[in-house]
Amino acid sequence: MAAKPVILVTRKLPDSVEQKLAQHFTTILNPDDRLYGTAEMLQLAENADAILPCHTEKFSAGTIAQLPARVKAIANFSVGVDHVDLDAARQKQVVVTNTPDVLSDATAEIAMLLMLGAARRASEGERLVRNQQWKDWSPAFMVGHQVTGKRLGILGLGRVGQVVARRGRGFEMKIHYHNRNPLNPEQAGDAIYHDSVEALLASIDVLSIHCPASEATRGLLNRERIALMHRDAILVNTSRGGVIDDDALVAALQSDVIAAAGLDVFNGEPNSIHPGYRELDNVFLLPHIGSATRETRDAMGFRAIDNLVAIFNGEEPGDRVA
Ligand code: DGY
Residue 308 within a domain: yes
First to last CA, the chain: 30
User: For all residues of the chain together, what is the average pLDDT?
Assistant: 98
The verdict on residue 320 lying in a domain is no
Do 13 and 81 belong together in one domain? yes
Distance CA 152, CA 55 (A): 28
Name the residue with higher pLDDT: 76 or 1. 76
- What lies within 8 Å, CB to CB, of 4 at 6+ separation is 24, 25, 26
Q: Tell whether 225 is covered by a domain.
A: yes
State if residue 80 touches ligand 1 by the CB under 6 angstroms criterion. yes
Domain check: are 176 and 57 in the same one?
no
Number of domains in the chain: 2
The CATH number assigned to the domain holding 256 equals 3.40.50.720
Q: Whose CA is nearest to atom 3 of ligand 1?
A: 80
Q: Does residue 267 lie within any of the structural domains?
A: yes
pLDDT at 1 over 80: no
Residues 140 and 274 in one domain: yes
Label residue 142 by pLDDT band (50, 70, 90). very high
Q: Give yes or no for a contact between 276 and 254, defined as CB atoms under 8 angstroms apart.
A: yes
Assess whether the C-beta atom of 160 lies below 6 angstroms from ligand 1. Answer: no
**What amino acid positions are annotated as catalytic residues?**
240, 269, 288
Whether residues 87 and 133 share a domain: the answer is: no
Same domain, 301 and 218: no
Range of the domain at 307: 6-102+294-312
Same domain, 66 and 187: no
**Does residue 89 sit in the same domain as residue 158?**
no
Residue 2 has a pLDDT of: 82
Residues with Cβ within 8 Å of residue 135, at least 6 apart in sequence: none
Q: Check whether residue 98 and residue 114 sit in a common domain.
A: no
Same domain, 57 and 138: no
Q: Provide the pLDDT confidence category of residue 242 given band limits of 50, 70 and 90.
A: very high
Residues in the chain: 322
What residue's CA is closest to ligand 1, atom 4?
A: 78
Residue 317 beta carbon below 6 angstroms from any ligand 1 atom: no
Q: Do 268 and 304 have their domain in common? A: no
Which residue has the CA at smallest separation from atom 2 of ligand 1?
Answer: 78
Residue 240 alpha carbon, nearest atom of ligand 1:
5
Q: Each residue of 44-96: pLDDT tens digit? A: 999 999 999 999 999 999 999 999 999 999 999 999 999 999 999 999 999 99
Percentage of residues in the chain with pLDDT exceeding 90? 99
Asked whether 286 lines ligand 1 (CB < 6 A), one says no
Of 105, 117, 217, residue with least CA distance to 161: 105
Residue 153 and residue 232 in one domain = yes
Sign of CA dihedral 175, 178, 179, 183: positive
Provide mean pLDDT across the span 4-22: 98
Q: Is residue 321 part of a domain?
A: no
Nearest CA residue ID for atom 6, ligand 1: 78
Which ligand 1 atom is at minimum distance from the Cα of 103?
2
Q: Assess contact for 197 and 179: CB atoms under 8 A.
A: no
230 found inside a domain: yes
322 domain-assigned: no
